[in-house]
Amino acid sequence: MSSRLYLNYANIVDDLFVEKHTDPMTENYQDYIEMLRRLPHELAAQVANLTPEALTTAHIPGEWTVAQNIHHLAEAQMALFSRFKAMVKEDQPTLMPFDQDAWAQTPDSTHVDIEDSLTLIRVLHRRWAILAESLTEDEWHRTGHHPENGDQTPAELLPYAAAHTQLHIDQIAETLAARD
């Protein structure tokens, strides 16, 4: 992903979804499930031993800090998991949007301590993998309604959730590379 993608950071989740939404979906669910399991470990290794300053400085002006990327990823993946599970178990649920840029400014989302969010991402993805591996083909194609993006399915949301994790790993790499 080019760094240009990050300029309009507030909307990147929805932008990424639209991009995915318009692609023909593959149904290699297991590949994406493995990404959900693997990427939290890559993320944790990537940010191990960073100084507090490295975690909380916006090394790319106007972009999120490393800590903000991690806290955002935790809460965004929670929201996506909730949408995923609602589609599986509820009848045409409304998939709640959230203002990710506003959420990224709260004390829990700017804090230097990233360990809870790293743990949250890892264990959430582990549960998600268990749920995903249990779905029937019919369940993969159940739908929910997102007020801005229209109807979605678990089959669409899973690759998106995996790609969203990779996106923030890439964003953190670019942020760290921009240090003086």
Point out which residues bind Ni ion (CB under 5 A): 13
Nearer to Ni ion, 58 or 130 (CB): 58
Q: How far is the CB of 12 from Ni ion (least distance, A)?
A: 5
- Comparing CB distances to Ni ion, the nearer of 13 and 172 is 13
The residue among 120 and 142 lying less far from Ni ion, judged by its C-beta, is 120
* Cβ nearer to Ni ion, comparing 59 with 141: 59
CB of 117 to Ni ion, least distance (A): 13
- Minimum distance, C-beta of residue 72 to Ni ion, in the bound complex (Å): 6
The three-state (H, E, C) secondary structure of the chain, written as one string:
CCHHHHCCHHHHHHHHHHHHHHCCCCCCHHHHHHHHHHHHHHHHHHHCCCCHHHHHCCCCCCCCCHHHHHHHHHHHHHHHHHHHHHHHHCCCCECCCCCHHHHCCCHHHHCCCCHHHHHHHHHHHHHHHHHHHCCCHHHHCCCEEECCCEEECHHHHHHHHHHHHHHHHHHHHHHHHCCC
Q: Taking the complex as a whole, how short is the minimal distance between the CB of residue 163 and Ni ion, in angstroms?
A: 10
Residue nearest to Ni ion (CB): 13
